[in-house]
Structure 1
Amino acid sequence: MALRPRRAPRDLPGGQPDTRCRPSPVTSTRDLSNEHVGAAVGCARAPGSVSIRADLEAREAEYLAPYAARSRDSQGRLRAESEDPIRPAFQRDRDRIVHSKAFRRLKHKTQVFFAPTGDHYRTRLTHTLEVSQIARTVAKVLRLNDELTEAIALGHDLGHTPFGHAGESVLNALMPGGFSHYEQSLRIVDVLEQERRGLNLTWEVRDGIAKHSKGKDGAPIGIRPSLRAATLEGQVARVADLVAYVNHDIDDAARAGVLNTADLPDEAVEVLGRSSSERIGTLVADVVERTLETRPDIELRMSDEVLAALLDLRTFLFDAVYENQVATAEFKKAEGILGGLWERVRQEPEAFLDLRTVREEGIDAASRDFLAGMTDRFAVGLYERLFIPKPWARTTRL
């Protein structure tokens, strides 16, 4: 899905910064949706007739590094809208993502282990929160825009399927042209949320979401400019995603008995550390230190030794966990569930699918949106309702 930036005018005639207040169109607190909660109605002003939002934007300009993205310099949104009286653009995007239905569904979507019964296994939601924490830590030290970084991190996996990467593989095989979760994430924020109005996020957040994925072999840094996020904040979120999942998936696999931490590659452990905390600390410190060495022409960097150790751990995880027969045995069943649902919902599109999508984009797109949006338990429950016979209950006369 193409990213179409739209830059709103930011300066007044004569080149002076536009600090005029742009009041929200709402007229009372009853008009505020969830993502507006806490925002003042009208146009609150600080001394000097500058809006609260403009004051926050001025603080950004004063504190952030020259290479950081600034809210008031955003390339804009797909649809023009009034600015919030309090929140800068990237903070507003972060709030919209947190209050979205797709974000709430992440708590019931698989990270690695299907429908884990233990309380401490990661879900797609806890993974997202860990990515956000790591990304914000790096962004703060580099004096990047941490609200932009956080918005990208929180939105990067909204398009993930039920049953983790197994679900993505099923939809990739079923969908003409294939399926990728990052493209679906962008579709969710652009189209599907808010009854097909989308979240209307800024170009910078959308760009970061669209370019976060690395796959099995992709590097977190050092990639071609056309493939990496346009902002350093988006590039930080991409690195944080890999740092988070490599470490927490080791924890979960060890907890599940799928691997023993003693089996981790010795060289990687020697470089990064034995515990998850040590490894994350080493990785974050290395990214920050190597990146700061590139000033003033800043570029996100990692040392060769640390990057190699991180990629070794990822390769180990694919061999020992993600593609392990024991760990993925249940995913064969998950593939059957999604395959069965794909066929069934297409037989009765009026009962299951969004008919507007069917009319405008075809039944394949509507089926993809429906299945990709499911949680694990919703998919299992719907499959049981459609395919599993219910026990016959004989009624008796009174």
Structure 2
Amino acid sequence: MNHARKDWESTEDAHLAAYASKSSESRGRKHPEKSHPLRSCFARDRDRIFHSRCFRRLEYKTQVFVNGTADHYRTRLTHTMEMSATGRTLARILKVNEDLTECICLAHDLGHSPFGHEGEKVLDELMKAHGGFDHNLQSLRNIECIESPYPDFKGLNLTWEVRAGLLKHEAHNEGAELDDYPIGPFQSLEAQIADIADDMTYPGSDVDDGLEAGIMTRQKLEQTEFWNKAASITQQRYPNLSEFQFLRATIRTMLELQVFDVTEHAFQALETHNPQSVHDVMSAPERIVTFSREMQEMLDEFHQFMFENLYYHQGVAGATQESVSMMRKLFLHYIEHPETLGRKARERLHEEGLWRTVCDYVAGCTDRYAIEEFNRYRL
């Protein structure tokens, strides 16, 4: 029983591809810890993320529709869970590390602000003179310093591979490093999978929420090539579905089309470049896990359609703008009255400074808490 971790590491060595990230080959943690006797290092990371407060708060953060406006709309948490399922599927197909892929998926939005991407834009604007705000970097801040439940070190002390996987926007920068190790020009296959799983999850889930809200319609969706391709396949498979069943089946087909496209393209790239290690993947002439050109063109058209017909729809944008306006006022209130911050945030003022501490605090707020605080101070 005491050798369960070693048994799992042996299983990885035997069954994962040469280019996969193996737990036994991890670059370790910033603060050295004794290996767990039963869990691999990435399984241990996954559990630390699951048990973190910043992960639980995702339940009350906006995906598209402001949290709490209906029971079935996605939140940051449900989006993260759907993305993780897609990531694990791709990782299994490509014979890379499912646990590491899942860790990166689970942690990728830990730093996201309340009220979706509009909230992120407002924080970035407010922090323009103080280093800006990026939710990917904020996710790393959460696990490295803000979330700190352990007595022996600051942060969650996750492995290098998980932390590096959160730096997708930094990897392309020449000479980009984390703890003196390069993180680019491309990332590990597990990180590439997590990145594209994020993109793959949005189209169908956002359409589903848009239909639920009555903003999206089948007639509108038929303006796009991507929907029509998925709908055609659904119609051939199930010619006698009700309207409700047809819409839901087509949404599932949208994800299926993307999975087949990504895996086929990845297998072609792997055959072309034949990487024999994680280093080979990261230094390959091109990224391995991408959409085909044809699929990317369809998705680009579809994303533009979604911006015009859902994300910027008055029923969505109006509520979001009202919410981010409240968040802006709350942020400035904390700047003027830092004594009203939470206790742990006040303790970090001397270390992080006023603006970054307030940014961390507001970014960590759920939609519900931000609204409650706004009303509490009658802003």
TM range (shorter): 0.7 to 0.9
Equivalent in 150, 163, 171 of residue 115 of structure 2:
163
RMSD value, Cα:
2.1
Q: Tell me what 1:124 maps to.
A: 76
Alignment of 1:194-205 (within 5 A): 194-195=148-149, 197-205=154-162
Q: Tell me what 1:269 maps to.
A: 227
Q: CA deviation at 1:340?
A: 1.4
SS at the partner of 2:192? helix
Equivalent in 99, 104, 127 of residue 152 of structure 1:
104
- Aligned partner letter, 1:156: H
Alpha-carbon separation, structure 2, partners of 1:213 and 1:325: 34
Alignment of 1:197-346 (within 5 A): 197-211=154-168, 230-264=187-221, 265-273=223-231, 275-296=250-271, 297=274, 299-346=288-335
SS at the partner of 1:111? coil
Q: Tell me what 2:40 maps to.
A: 88
Q: Tell me what 1:369 maps to.
A: 360
Over 4 Å off, 4+ runs: 225-229
Alpha-carbon separation, structure 2, partners of 1:352 and 1:116: 24
Judge which range, 363-372 or 256-265, deviates more.
256-265
Equivalent in 7, 10, 33 of residue 58 of structure 1:
10
Q: Which structure 2 residue ranges, 5 or more long, are not aligned? A: 172-181, 233-249, 276-287
SS at the partner of 1:159? coil
Q: Tell me what 1:173 maps to.
A: 125
Q: TM-score, normalised by structure 2?
A: 0.82
| 1:138 and 2:90 aligned | yes
Q: Tell me what 2:141 maps to.
A: 187
Percent pairwise identity: 40
Greater share of helix residues, 1 or 2?
A: 2
Distance 1:193 1:319, change over 3 A: same
SS at the partner of 1:194? coil
- Aligned partner letter, 2:318: A
Q: Which structure 1 residue ranges, 5 or more long, are not aligned? A: 1-43, 46-50, 215-224, 389-398
SS at the partner of 1:110? coil
Q: Tell me what 2:280 maps to.
A: none
Q: CA deviation at 1:117?
A: 2.9
Q: CA deviation at 1:180?
A: 1.0
Distance 1:228 1:211, change over 3 A: farther
Equivalent in 358, 363, 371 of residue 349 of structure 2:
358
Distance 1:324 1:229, change over 3 A: farther
Alignment of 1:368-387 (within 5 A): 368-387=359-378
Q: Contact 1:155–1:185 at 8 Å: present in 2 too?
A: yes
Q: Contact 2:196–2:290 at 8 Å: present in 1 too?
A: no
- The number of residues matched between the two structures is 330
Q: Tell me what 2:285 maps to.
A: none
Distance 1:260 1:145, change over 3 A: same
Distance 1:378 1:370, change over 3 A: same
Alpha-carbon separation, structure 2, partners of 1:312 and 1:212: 23
Deviation digits for residues 117-165 of structure 1, max 9, x if unmatched?
A: 3221100100000000001001101111000000000110001111111
Deviation digits for residues 41-99 of structure 1, max 9, x if unmatched?
A: xxx43xxxxx2211110110001011111001111111111111111111111111011
Q: Contact 1:204–1:230 at 8 Å: present in 2 too?
A: no
- Aligned partner letter, 2:263: V
Distance 1:228 1:136, change over 3 A: farther
SS at the partner of 1:293? helix
Q: Contact 2:27–2:161 at 8 Å: present in 1 too?
A: yes
Distance 1:119 1:342, change over 3 A: same
Q: CA deviation at 1:323?
A: 2.4
SS at the partner of 2:197? helix
Alignment of 1:26-65 (within 5 A): 44-45=1-2, 51-65=3-17
SS at the partner of 2:11? helix
Q: Contact 2:112–2:120 at 8 Å: present in 1 too?
A: yes
Alpha-carbon separation, structure 1, partners of 2:18 and 2:141: 32
Rg larger in structure? 1
- Aligned partner letter, 1:312: E
The structure, 1 or 2, with the larger RCO (C-alpha pairs under 8 Å, 6+ apart) is 2
Q: Contact 2:224–2:302 at 8 Å: present in 1 too?
A: no
- Aligned partner letter, 1:200: N
Alpha-carbon separation, structure 1, partners of 2:224 and 2:303: 14
Distance 1:57 1:306, change over 3 A: same
Alpha-carbon separation, structure 2, partners of 1:81 and 1:116: 40
Deviation digits for residues 256-299 of structure 1, max 9, x if unmatched?
A: 12222322243222444471100101110111122112334252
Alpha-carbon separation, structure 1, partners of 2:319 and 2:359: 22
SS at the partner of 1:84? coil
Q: CA deviation at 1:229?
A: 5.2
Q: CA deviation at 1:213?
A: 9.8
Q: CA deviation at 1:210?
A: 2.1
Q: TM-score, normalised by structure 1?
A: 0.78
- Aligned partner letter, 1:112: V
Q: CA deviation at 1:350?
A: 2.9
- Aligned partner letter, 1:377: R
Q: Contact 1:134–1:240 at 8 Å: present in 2 too?
A: yes
